[in-house]
Amino acid sequence: MKVKDIVLVMFILMTLMLTAQEKDLVSTTGKITAKAIWRPGMETLRAIHDSCDNMKYPSFKKCLLEQMQKFGASQEAIEFAKMTDSEGFMRDFKDVGKVDIAYAVYPFRANENQVCFLVNGSPNMIDVDNYDYISKAVIKKNKIYKQVAKVYPKVSIWPGDRNGTDFSAVREQLGGGQQFIFDYRLQDGCHACKLIGFANLGFNFDKDGKFSAIKVINILMLNDSIKELKVQDEYSNPEKTIEIKAGQYFKIALNSNPSTGYGWQLAEPLNENIVGNAGETYILPANPIPGAGGKEIWNFISINQGSTEISFKYIRPWEKNVKPVRESTFKIIVE
């Protein structure tokens, strides 16, 4: 073969390789849509497990792709699976703006096999439970978390329930950005250890879909955990000033009847330099009868010295531009 013929063959091979690479680039950085959804039935999943379970890592990855193709998954579904490092497939999708939500299943995981991704932004795909994003430093800077950690030194953060599609909330941000809010479990050490409470974290994106930061929205404690944190007396009279030391928990009780559709909400954001929200619950009356009301118990933690107010409004959440039927404001002094 002549030299020019060899050069021509090499050029063709290089072109073919480049074309393949470009196709792969498109498949991994292009816009992800609902076309990538794949919902295999139980029989199909059993067949996949029968074929792939005995394979060692990473052989089962190739096996999953082969099985998806065998059982009729679309090319878009297969390409999405590749984006998960060939470990999962998309089960659902929400188009919510510049950045969207993709819900995936990792069939070979023993725990946390339901996974949620924020897609089509920059980066193109973020696993909301990836500890590269949810660094402990983000949580540890939170003042409420610091107080919790004093009582529970082993407190650690774990993914919340990722089943279904209703566990996430989306808020519009000023300037056209988006905030995605997810819940995480706070446990006393290990995955199977005592559940202490929950943390709500917000993933912020700008108007162009570029990821900017993770914000701690709230930290909520379970009732039994709050008891161990030495919650102070219950307060229900807004005419009496609540005086408390820094670093202590306290609770405000408000008469409520959810059967009417009404409930208490904060009328104004908390001054989080002084107090933080530690969760709320509803308590039935001692001898409940149909239609009888009970109490909403709002738990708070005092953080720093100073004075502030906690204002509540009693409303039906779905009624817009309607004045609250009741309002209540408590003055707080932290010593």
Q: Where are the domains of the chain?
A: 36-127, 136-221, 230-334
Residue 273's pLDDT is 87
With contact defined as beta carbons under 8 Å apart, do 73 and 90 qualify? no
More confident call, 115 vs 259: 115
- CA–CA dist 219, 223 (Å, integer): 13
- pLDDT tops 70 at residue 252: yes
Question: Of the ranges 99-113, 238-252, 289-303, which one carries the lowest mean pLDDT score?
Answer: 289-303
Closest CA to 307 of 277, 280, 333: 333
- Distance, in Å, from the CA atom of 21 to the CA atom of 205, rounded to the nearest integer, reads 29
Does residue 93 surpass a pLDDT of 90?
Answer: yes
Query: Which residues does residue 334 pair with via DSSP β-bridges, in sequence order?
Result: 244, 306
CA atoms within 13 A on the CB side of 313: 12
Helices (H), the chain: 3-29, 42-52, 59-70, 75-83, 136-140, 143-151, 223-228
Does the structure show a pLDDT above 60 at 286? Answer: yes
122: pLDDT strictly greater than 90: yes
Q: Is the pLDDT of residue 16 over 50?
A: no
Percentage of the chain beyond pLDDT 90 is 48
Among residues 126, 198, 127, 117, the alpha carbon closest in space to that of 157 is found at 198
pLDDT at position 8 over 50: no
pLDDT at 139: 83
Structure confidence at residue 225 (pLDDT) = 59
Of the listed ranges 24-38, 54-68, 77-91, 201-215, the one predicted with least confidence: 24-38
Residue 84 has pLDDT above 70, yes or no: yes
pLDDT score, position 10: 41
Say how many Å lie between the first and final Cα of the chain, rounded. 91
**pLDDT tens-digit map of 152-192:** 899 999 999 999 998 888 988 878 899 998 989 999 988 88
Contact at 8 Å (CB) between 89 and 73?
yes
φ and ψ at residue 59, rounded to 5 degrees: -60, -30
pLDDT at 9: 39
pLDDT per position as a tens digit, 302-321:
888 999 999 999 998 888 88
- Mean pLDDT for the chain overall: 84
* pLDDT beyond 80 at 2: no
Structure tokens at 170: 């989306």
Q: How many CA atoms lie within 13 A of 280 on its CB side?
A: 17
Percent of the chain at pLDDT > 70 equals: 84
Is residue 25 scored above 60 in pLDDT? no
What is the distance between the alpha carbons of residues 217 and 214, in angstroms, rounded to a whole number?
9
Ramachandran area for residue 150 (φ above 0: left; ψ -120 to 50: alpha; else beta):
alpha
CATH code reported for the domain at 230-334:
2.60.40.2020
CA torsion sign for 172, 174, 176, 180 is negative
On whether the pTM is more than 0.95, the answer is: no
